[in-house]
């Protein structure tokens, strides 16, 4: 469950970062031409990509308890309060794993979006190194 | 305070300790995200607080209700179906009566399956079994 959600967060962050960079090639290259470091030119897209990957998990936390409960634990006779707390722990772990996965994926994508000479290599039609 | 903690079920006290560790880990991730300009502190803190309070509340309510009869089970399942319908209807805010439509759909799907499981004996009509399976 944790690996599956980390996988989804990774995919969402990568897709969002790729789409944002591809859609703002002109802005990024303008920044590079004016002397900005590559990380600064794509900083807003890093933020939106990580936030987009975290959003479903944050919503999952907010809606806990209204629909889902740890059925297996209750059927096996565990305390309902402990089953509820355990469900919260599982979802909090999913949030943490997804946050780390989304952040690491986005930062690695950022590193690969530019060449060693600080040129943008990710643009429409070109996949880059 | 110490007397209060001693009066609680041991599992619940352990669970709260484990939840504190989970929250600390999430806050660590939030601090890491903040370092890279991703600001989710307020929303994460709010989501964690809401999630924990809601789950403890549901656990307490279930602990009280799980000794009831079949009518209580049906009422709980109807309540959960309505909550699910409200969540599903948010995907289609432009549709008139989206909540009712979603309620009918979720109730139709869930009731057919639960009735089949009861008829085949896979589930018993015991509230302790029916409610957790129905709402999970």
pLDDT tens-digit profile of B10-30?
Answer: 778 888 889 999 999 999 999
Q: With contact defined as beta carbons under 8 Å apart, do B72 and B134 qualify? A: no
A62 chain-B contacts, CB cut-off 8 A? 46-47, 50-51
- The predicted model gives B89-103 an average pLDDT of 79
> CB-based burial of residue B136 (10 Å sphere; 0-12 exposed, 13-18 middle, 19+ buried)?
middle
For A85-128, how does the pLDDT look when each residue is reduced to its tens digit (9 = 90+)? 888 888 888 888 889 999 999 998 898 888 888 888 877 665 54
Q: How far is A128 from chain B (nearest CA, A)?
A: 24
Coil/strand/helix, residue B92: coil
Contact at CB, B39 and A47, closer than 8 angstroms: yes
pLDDT at A43: 92
pLDDT at B15: 86
CA dihedral A21, A27, A29, A34 (to 10 degrees): -140
Contact at CB, A82 and B36, closer than 8 angstroms: no
- pTM (global) more than 0.80: no
CA–CA distance, A2 with A71 (Å, rounded to integer): 18
Q: How far is B24 from chain A (nearest CA, A)?
A: 10
Of the candidate ranges A69-83, B6-20, B60-74, the one whose mean pLDDT is the lowest: A69-83
CA angle at A38 for the pair A34 and A41, rounded to the nearest 5°: 70
**Nearest-CA neighbor of A57 among A19, A109, A14, A93?**
A93
Contact at CB, A70 and B37, closer than 8 angstroms: no
pLDDT at B89: 79
The overall average pLDDT reported for chain A is 84
CA–CA distance, B123 with B65 (Å, rounded to integer): 19
Q: Which helix (H) or strand (E) holds A9?
A: helix A2-23
Of the candidate ranges A75-84, B83-92, B95-104, the one whose mean pLDDT is the lowest: A75-84
ipTM above 0.85, yes or no: no
B36 chain-A contacts, CB cut-off 8 A? 46-47, 50, 103, 107
pLDDT at A129: 45
- The predicted model gives B31-54 an average pLDDT of 89
Q: How far is B96 from chain A (nearest CA, A)?
A: 23
Nearest CA in chain A to B38: A47
């Amino acid at each position: 469950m944790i690996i599956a959600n980390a996988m989804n967060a990774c995919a969402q962050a990568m897709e969002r970062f790729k789409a944002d960079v591809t859609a703002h090639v002109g802005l990024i290259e303008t920044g590079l031409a004016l002397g900005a470091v590559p990380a600064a030119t794509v900083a807003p897209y890093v933020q939106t990509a990580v936030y987009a990957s975290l959003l479903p998990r944050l919503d999952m936390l907010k809606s806990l308890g209204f629909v889902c409960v740890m059925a297996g634990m209750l059927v096996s006779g565990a305390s309902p309060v402990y089953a509820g707390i355990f469900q919260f722990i599982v979802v909090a772990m999913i949030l943490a794993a997804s946050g780390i996965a989304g952040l690491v994926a986005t930062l690695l994508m950022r590193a690969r979006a530019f060449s060693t000479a600080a040129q943008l290599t990710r643009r429409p039609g070109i996949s880059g190194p | 305070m110490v007397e209060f903690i001693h009066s609680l079920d041991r599992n619940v006290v352990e669970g709260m300790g484990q939840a504190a560790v989970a929250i600390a880990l999430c806050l660590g991730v939030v601090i890491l995200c903040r370092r890279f300009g991703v600001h989710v502190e307020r929303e994460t803190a709010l989501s964690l607080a809401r999630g924990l309070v809601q789950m403890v509340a549901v656990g307490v309510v279930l602990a009280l209700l799980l000794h009831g009869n079949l009518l209580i089970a049906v009422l709980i399942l109807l309540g959960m179906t309505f909550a699910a319908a409200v969540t599903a209807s948010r995907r289609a805010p432009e549709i008139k009566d989206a909540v009712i439509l979603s309620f009918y759909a979720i109730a139709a799907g869930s009731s057919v399956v639960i009735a089949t499981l009861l008829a085949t004996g896979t589930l018993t009509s015991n509230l302790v079994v029916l409610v957790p399976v129905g709402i999970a």
